[in-house]
Each structure stands twice: as structure tokens, then as C-alpha cells.
Chain A
Amino acid sequence: MSTDTIDATFAALADPTRRAILARLALRELSVTELAAPFAISQPAVSKHLKVLERAGLVTRGRDAQRRPVRLAAQPLREVTQWLEVYRRFWAESFDRLDGLLEDLQPPHRQEEH
């Protein structure tokens, strides 16, 4: 996995409007007009966000000259998710062990509450 990809993906995901755009594209492809509609920002502003997402490889634009539908591209998201999954596993497994330790350390009367 390239760290350039992760870099671009994280930068693209750092913005709440872009995350909202991706969330909507996860359901279906949309035109720029359709994408701009629920946001309190102009179409050019949405286009600017789309350029960032496109550079990060998170979305692709369709060939239809009129509409140029925007589609979600899943691969870079998958790479970031995969990294987070490794990170999550480190801490999830550590914390599960900590649960056991904390139970061992507490006086028995506390455990009766279970």
C-alpha cells in the first residue's frame, strides 16, 4: 500500500462536507447539481470538493457529457479502513485483556454486581 494514497485519502476525508458527499455517493451516483442541492454551498464549491476527492481517487466522473455523474470509488477507502483495522485490532485486543485484569484487581464484592 502506498502512503501517498493514504495521505491523499486522509486529507480528503478530513473535511465534513466531503465526508457527507461520500456518504451520499455510497447510496447511488449523482450529478454535481444533485450533490449541491442539500448543502448550503454553491455548485462551484461542490466542484472544488469533488476535485479533491477525485485526486484522492475516492470518486470517478462518468463519461455522459451532459450529466457527468459522480461515483464512489471504493479502493482507497478500503486501504484506509484496512490500516484502521490493524490499529483497531491492537487496541481492541489490548483493552479486552485490560477488562480481565481490572476484574482480577477488584475486590470480590464489586463482582457480585455482575
Chain B
Amino acid sequence: MAGALTITTPTDREIVLTRTFAAPAALVFAAWTTPDLLRRWYGPREWQLVVCEIDLRPGGAWRYVTRHVDGAEMVQHGRYESVDPPRALVTSEVNDDCDAQAGSDTRATTDFVETGGGTVVTTTVRYATVQIRDAVVASGMEYGVAAAYEQLDELLVTTTSVGGGPA
């Protein structure tokens, strides 16, 4: 029932992610909004969610800190604009790297639609300006660098074993 992730960029300021999960909407919604559950899945495999604070109500704040195995940290925070369990969630994210101007937040709308035996989750991320999207691009590249280091590690391990070096 779980499906492939699709990502589209309908405009230069929007990204849409769609994914199906083999669980009822209530459970998927809980996984999206409960710190103890988020810690168990949020972030690619070499990143860990070390701080997860959630005040799940309209206007309530959220704050995530993810840490890479090499110690690098990424801080994300914002507010819940609308909370409609288990159907929809609208969050804003404050962009600290940019000029902190009112209305410069990134807005993410997530819809949870239950279908036979599963839940289709669609997240539409809308950046307030292309400058903010560019800042996200730049921070995204940090993940790319981390991935590159990881590949280098794997290469070094392979090279060592091929060369018959110490285990």
C-alpha cells in the first residue's frame, strides 16, 4: 500500500510532495504531530531529530533541531496556522537565514486523505519569495555535502578492503 514519493514544482515558489502510507489517516496524522513518533522517522538516515517541541493548536509553536552524525545541526521552527485532525495541517516556518520580515514565512499545507486501506499525504510547500526558496536551496546543499561525505566514507572503506588493509 505504501507508494513511491512524487515531487513536483508547479510554480517557481511551490513544491508538492505526495506519498501513500499503509495506515489509517488518524495514525499518519499522529506520526506527523507527536514528538515521540516524529523522533522515530523525521530526517534522512544519518540525521537525527534531537529536539522536537510541538504545541498543536492554531497559533501554537513548533521547533525541530536535526543533527547529523558529524555534529552539524539544522534548526527549523514556526507555528501551526490550522490544525484539523486527521485531515489537514497548515504550518508556517520562519526563515531565520533571510530578512525576518512579516509575511516572509514559508507555508506548508498537508492533507491526509484516507483511501482503501491507506492514506495519501500531499504536502504543498509555498515559499513567500524566490529569495527564500534560494536560501532553502543553499541549506539543502548542506544535506548534499553530507551525502557526498558519506559516499566518500563508503569509497574509503571499499578502497581499504580492496587494498587488503587492516579491517
Query: A residues engaging B (CB < 8 A)?
Result: 1, 3, 6-7, 10-11, 13-14, 82-84, 86-95, 97-103, 105-106, 113
- A14 CB, nearest partner CB in chain B, Å: 4
Chain B 1-42 interface mask (CB, 8 Å, partner A; 1/0): 010010101011001010101110001100100000100111
**Candidates A6, A88, A93, A97; contact of B137 at CB < 8 Å:** A6
Report which residue of A86, A93, A97, A102 has the largest number of chain B beta carbons within 10 angstroms of its beta carbon: A102
B5 lies within 8 A of A91 (CB): yes
**Candidates A6, A92, A98; contact of B31 at CB < 8 Å:** A98
A91 to B5, CA, bound (A): 8
Closest A residue to B7 by CB, please name it.
A88
A88 lies within 8 A of B31 (CB): no
Main SS at interface, chain B: mixed
Which stretch (B78-86, B91-99, B139-147, B159-167) binds chain A?
B139-147
Closest A residue to B5 by CB, please name it.
A92
A90 contacts across to B, CB distance below 8 A: 43-44, 140, 143
B140 contacts across to A, CB distance below 8 A: 83, 86-87, 90
How many residues of B are in contact with the other chain, CB < 8 A?
33
**Candidates A11, A14, A94, A106; contact of B23 at CB < 8 Å:** A106
A88 to B37, CA, bound (A): 21
Chain B 94-110 interface mask (CB, 8 Å, partner A; 1/0): 00000000000000000
User: Apart from A93-B45, A95-B19, what are 12 other A-B pairs with CB-CB below 8 Å?
Assistant: A3-B134, A3-B137, A7-B134, A10-B130, A94-B44, A95-B41, A98-B21, A98-B31, A98-B41, A101-B40, A105-B31, A113-B117
A11 touching B130 in the complex, CB below 8 Å, given contacts A86-B144, A87-B7: yes
B87 contacts across to A, CB distance below 8 A: none
Closest B residue to A9 by CB, please name it.
B12
Which residues B42-72 have CB closer than 8 A to chain A?
42-45
